[in-house]
Structure 1
Amino acid sequence: MADWSQLPPELLLLIGKRLDTRFDILRFRSVCSYWRSSVSVPPKVYPYPFPTHLPSNTFGRCENYLSDITRHTLYLIRPSHGNQTQAPACWLVKISDGMGLFNPLTDSELKLIPDNFSLDLNKFLVIELGHEYTVRRGEYIDHPLEPQHRDYIQKLVYSRCTDRDGFIMLTRLSWYRLASLRSGENDWTLLEPSVYGYHIISFNGKFYVMEKRGRTIVVDQSLNVSFLGYIGSWSSIKWLVQCVDNLLAVEMLYDSDGESRVRYGRLVRENVVGFKVFKMNEEEQKWDEMESLRDQILFLDYRQAISASAFQFGWGRGNLIFFSECVSGYAVSEDRRMFVFDMETGTASPVEDCSAYCNLIWPPPRWVTSPE
């Protein structure tokens, strides 16, 4: 039998270049010291002194600053040796840099974990579905009567530079301001004009910002701004998500006139009635509505949307959207119930009522908490 630890260094280097995710690199490096030395540790998102202060003259009596870039990774965890006669077992969890466990649909930290819980990812089949970065924005208000300090968690996206080494980061400072930072620079750049940004994403070397009213702002690497046409209602919630090689826009529909447009097995929210999905037509600079997601599955939380294929879960079909009450910002209870919407039938059901998905997120399935 061949000794894998004695593979030639040029072959290990080629293998390392084909590892797409941070977790795959870390698992590769854990095999032995020889493999560990052949592939470097994934770099930090911003390996430079991080400029924390923002231009203050644009915020009146407010001073803003940024700190604590954190990476949050969404993992799909499956048993390494499953029983082929049973339905595929899956668990979905979000893990932050500090090893905190989070619900991927509500972003709430999972605190009710058994005392003997130990998540050894080497014992499972682990698929990295996607990740996001957040940055903490502090706001100091120089109020004449009583100065105030507030903290916000904002999404941060970045794109590799197409014309040279390095990358560009973009974040939302407030509802109306976006700021960018190029690697190695000392100052943030405020983008003009002011926009009512709702959801941001990096796709094919550009930044896309979905305004609440449905217009999409496109920012290229020279910070030139252009626009795509409007979609949906000004009052609906919208996401941007990369799905395979396409950029999709997802709109959560509300029933404002009391007439239900889709059927519900049980009441989800009094005025949430479904979803519309659009695919970007870059050539014609517009959005085309889609009738189906085919084998794809979408997971929506307040800041992020991620797509995955039914094959990755071992499921026979996709065309599903998972979401929770909290995505609207008006959660009706602390537990923030989670739901799955079927694009094919136009129906939504609480995840807890679906035997195939009830342990997908929380509570974790028994094979995770007691892997022995």
Structure 2
Amino acid sequence: MERSVPWPELPTELWAMIGRKLDTHMDVDRFRSVCSSWRSLIPPVPAFKIRIGGTLIERMVYLLERPPWSLEDSQCSPSREGWLIKVAGKATEDEDLSGQGKFQLFNPLSSLPILFEDGTFPKVLCPMDYRVTDIFSELYLIGGYGQSYEAKKVVILRDSPGTALEETLVVGIFGKGKLKYWKHQDEDWNALDDPNCQYDDVIAYKRQFYVVDRFGIVSWIDPSFKIVQFSPRVCGDGRVGDRKHLVESGGDLYVVDRYFDEEDKRCGMAAMDTANFKVYRLNQEWGKWDEIRDLGEVALFLGDYSSFSVMLKGFNGCKGNCIYFTDCRDRRVRVFDMPDRSIKKALCSPDHLRILWPPPAWIAPNGFVLSPCSRKELIF
């Protein structure tokens, strides 16, 4: 006959095994915060930093929500409120990007830092004060040398946040869509695949690397770093879009095809306005791509160095069934509405923007003042 065992009586070895299998940074932090004995079982997640043709650093995207128990009025609406933030540590050991602490806030859709005047924004954001959800882990290469080291996207493959560097694999898209990879003890990036191929995006999905090229063909990268075609073109015989994004949502893999303005392309504009999107979801049973016209309560966010999804059921301050992105021409955040296929500036629809900006009153109850640098560069 089976009997239940109170968790304090479980073997320490079992808790250590569980701790090493946690999926996210926040899970590790919560595990270690339970008690001193648990804290001693696993180390904190180290700052991910690799020096290969520059410094590769990790930035985390979190969704902060005001927990129900913090509401002053118990009769308040049960609707959820949240704020998306991107957080990174110092760029170097002797550099403090914020001038105020160990971490820096960034625009969730770009690499632009958010700087505040002294004393106008909380110096500490305690995860215990909010409901915190890990959304995405973004890698960013800084200080690279030469045109070929301008990384457009870098992704990492590892089993857990605490995976040893020796077991870590990294793939990036550089220059004009060229794939490169790095593994432990490599002194530099290694070229991957045919140099004539051009890739738009790469993602770590179900513990494998997947890439999509300019023609909408999705491939996966095998353990020997060979490119293996995974599926036919996402758009079949239709017109191919101009830029493709890979996004995971609810365990499914999506390709978001972006179409630029035809007049801009005819005029040879260097930076073009976005005119339309098409969204495709991988049909894993049949190995084909199904066009999706309704995302339900999910919103897709297409950033400069990462793309991610957020479930917005019950949310105020952000609308589902939309794509949030920065346009190539003026770098402002825009919203593509899936039902009516319209594109509008996020600033023109505050109900769409509140999850991004400004910080809610329960984060900065006394208000905030942006630094001159942020006022110039922070574009929503």
CA distances 1:96-121 after superposition (whole Å, capped 9, x unpaired): 12211111123311124563312422
Tell me the distance in 1 between the aligned counterparts of 2:83 and 2:38. Answer: 29
Q: Secondary structure at the match of 2:54?
A: strand
Say yes or no: does 1:247 pair with 2:249. Answer: no
The residue correspondences of 1:1-372 to structure 2 (distance < 5 A) are 9=12, 12-13=15-16, 16=19, 19-43=22-46, 45=48, 52=52, 66-80=53-67, 81-82=70-71, 84-85=76-77, 87-98=79-90, 99-113=103-117, 115-118=119-122, 119-121=124-126, 122-136=128-142, 138-140=144-146, 152-160=150-158, 166-185=167-186, 188-194=189-195, 195-227=197-229, 228-231=231-234, 233=239, 236-256=242-262, 271-281=273-283, 285-311=287-313, 313=315, 318-325=320-327, 328=328, 330-331=329-330, 336-370=331-365
Structure possessing the higher relative contact order (Cα contacts under 8 Å, 6 or more residues apart): 2
Q: What is the TM-score when the length of structure 2 is the normalising length?
A: 0.73
Residues 139, 312 of structure 1: alpha-carbon distance in 2 compared, 3 angstrom cutoff: farther
Unaligned runs of 5+ residues in structure 2 are 1-5, 91-102, 160-165, 265-270, 368-380
Residues 18, 224 of structure 1: alpha-carbon distance in 2 compared, 3 angstrom cutoff: closer
Residues 172, 274 of structure 1: alpha-carbon distance in 2 compared, 3 angstrom cutoff: closer
Aligned AA for 1:117?
F
- What is the aligned-residue identity percentage? 26
RMSD: 3.6
Q: CA deviation at 1:37?
A: 0.6
Residues 360, 238 of structure 1: alpha-carbon distance in 2 compared, 3 angstrom cutoff: same
Q: What is the TM-score when the length of structure 1 is the normalising length?
A: 0.74
Tell me the distance in 2 between the aligned counterparts of 1:275 and 1:205. Answer: 27
Tell me the distance in 1 between the aligned counterparts of 2:326 and 2:194. Answer: 33
Tell me the distance in 1 between the aligned counterparts of 2:314 and 2:151. Answer: 30
Aligned AA for 1:105?
L
Residues 182, 15 of structure 1: alpha-carbon distance in 2 compared, 3 angstrom cutoff: closer
Tell me if structure 2 keeps the 8 A contact 1:205–1:221.
Answer: no
Tell me the distance in 1 between the aligned counterparts of 2:260 and 2:146. Answer: 36
Tell me the distance in 2 between the aligned counterparts of 1:315 and 1:70. Answer: 30
Aligned AA for 2:341?
G
Tell me the distance in 2 between the aligned counterparts of 1:315 and 1:366. Answer: 13
Aligned AA for 1:290?
I
Tell me the distance in 1 between the aligned counterparts of 2:198 and 2:249. Answer: 24
Residues 78, 30 of structure 1: alpha-carbon distance in 2 compared, 3 angstrom cutoff: same
Q: Secondary structure at the match of 1:356?
A: helix
Q: CA deviation at 1:193?
A: 0.8
Q: CA deviation at 1:24?
A: 2.5
Tell me the distance in 1 between the aligned counterparts of 2:144 and 2:134. Answer: 31
Aligned AA for 1:74?
V
Residues 182, 111 of structure 1: alpha-carbon distance in 2 compared, 3 angstrom cutoff: same
Partner of residue 145, structure 1: none
Aligned AA for 2:144?
G
Q: CA deviation at 1:18?
A: 6.4
Q: Secondary structure at the match of 2:45?
A: coil
Q: CA deviation at 1:277?
A: 0.4
CA distances 1:299-326 after superposition (whole Å, capped 9, x unpaired): 111221101212384789732211122x
Tell me if structure 2 keeps the 8 A contact 1:248–1:280.
Answer: yes
Q: CA deviation at 1:365?
A: 1.7
Q: CA deviation at 1:86?
A: 6.4
Tell me if structure 1 keeps the 8 A contact 2:193–2:226.
Answer: no
Aligned AA for 1:247?
L
CA distances 1:110-156 after superposition (whole Å, capped 9, x unpaired): 12456331242232211111111122363358xxxxxxxx9735432
Q: CA deviation at 1:241?
A: 0.7
